[in-house]
């Protein structure tokens, strides 16, 4: 079944740790996105990719980095996590439909102590 | 500045009742408007998508309307169920970029009580 997956779903870590949030999709979509969402607030685009070897920064400045070595995989890395990174991180992908509809993963809830 | 404003911020209704959520936007040039449902701790799931030429679209008990002239949209939920408790997010896409940038509202938090 075509879908988009994120792991882990929940992560609690200490300050200074390096973390990688995984995102994979089985829909063959070229475009992929990372959003950050705080409780009661709108989603903010932090990274996106048009395809393999393409990565761009989004509207919201983020200390995280991303890579796109394979079409289906779009991991996000924080080299040194801080409490200010505590948030929900949502991954999405879209194909070539005229609506450019984005399909979202279940999200990763990150807490940095 | 492209913006999406939603009202009310939160809403509590009794099971079986109807409700209407509002969305105003200033995104230009407009491409389409979507309503998403986001359960707590989950990613948003698309309910409806409407383009400039569409003014009503239904998906089961959900009916969305769009007035492109006044830049307003509404989402009407009929005969609410406990499972409708979620955040409903209005999202507008522009057609001014290859990416098809999305502009998100903050959502209306709906709680349905038995």
Contact A101 B49 (CB under 8 A): yes
Of A42, A45, A104, the CB nearest to B43: A104
**Better-scored residue on pLDDT, A61 or A109:** A109
And the tokens for A85? Answer: 């990174």
**Parts of chain B with a pLDDT under 50:** none
Question: What is the C-alpha to C-alpha distance for residues A37 and B40, in angstroms, rounded to an integer?
Answer: 12
> What is the average pLDDT across A48-65?
90
Contact B54, B31 (CB under 8 A): no
End-to-end CA distance of chain B: 41
Question: What is the C-alpha to C-alpha distance for residues A28 and B96, in angstroms, rounded to an integer?
Answer: 25
Question: Binning pLDDT at 50, 70 and 90, where does residue A77 land?
Answer: very high
Instruction: Report the residue of B32, B102, B111 to disrupt the A interface, i.e. the one with the largest count of A CBs within 10 Å.
Output: B102
Of B42, B99, B105, the CB nearest to A42: B105
Q: For A97-112, what is each residue's pLDDT tens digit?
A: 767 788 999 999 999 9
Q: Does B109 touch chain A (CB under 8 A)?
A: yes
> What is the average pLDDT across A32-56?
93
Contact A45 B102 (CB under 8 A): yes
Which residue's structure tokens are 């450019």? A100
Q: Give me the phi and psi of A95, to 5 degrees please.
A: -105, -145
Whether pLDDT at A54 is above 90: yes
Question: What is the C-alpha to C-alpha distance for residues B95 and A79, in angstroms, rounded to an integer?
Answer: 35
Q: Is the peptide bond before B29 cis (omega within 30 degrees of 0)?
A: yes
Residues 6 or more apart whose CB falls under 8 angstroms from that of A97 comprise: none
């Amino acid at each position: 079944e075509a879908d988009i997956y994120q792991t882990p779903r929940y992560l609690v870590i200490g300050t200074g740790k390096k973390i990688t949030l995984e995102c994979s999709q089985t829909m063959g979509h070229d475009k992929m996105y990372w959003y950050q969402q705080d409780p009661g607030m709108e989603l903010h685009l932090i990274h996106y990719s048009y395809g393999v070897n393409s990565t761009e920064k989004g509207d919201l400045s983020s200390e995280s980095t991303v890579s796109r070595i394979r079409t289906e995989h779009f991991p996000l890395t924080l080299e040194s996590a801080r409490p200010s990174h505590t948030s929900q991180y949502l991954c999405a992908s879209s194909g070539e439909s005229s609506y450019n509809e984005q399909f979202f993963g279940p999200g990763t809830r990150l807490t940095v102590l | 500045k492209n913006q999406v404003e939603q009202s009310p911020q939160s809403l509590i209704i009794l099971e079986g009742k109807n409700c209407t959520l509002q969305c105003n936007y200033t995104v230009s040039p407009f491409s389409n408007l979507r309503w998403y449902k986001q359960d707590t701790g989950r990613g948003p799931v698309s309910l409806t998508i409407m383009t400039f030429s569409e003014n009503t679209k239904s998906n089961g008990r959900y009916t969305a309307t769009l007035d492109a002239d006044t830049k307003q949209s509404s989402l009407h939920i009929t005969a609410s169920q406990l499972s409708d408790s979620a955040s409903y997010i209005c999202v507008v896409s522009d057609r001014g970029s290859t990416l098809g940038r999305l502009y998100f509202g903050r959502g209306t938090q709906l709680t349905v009580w038995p």
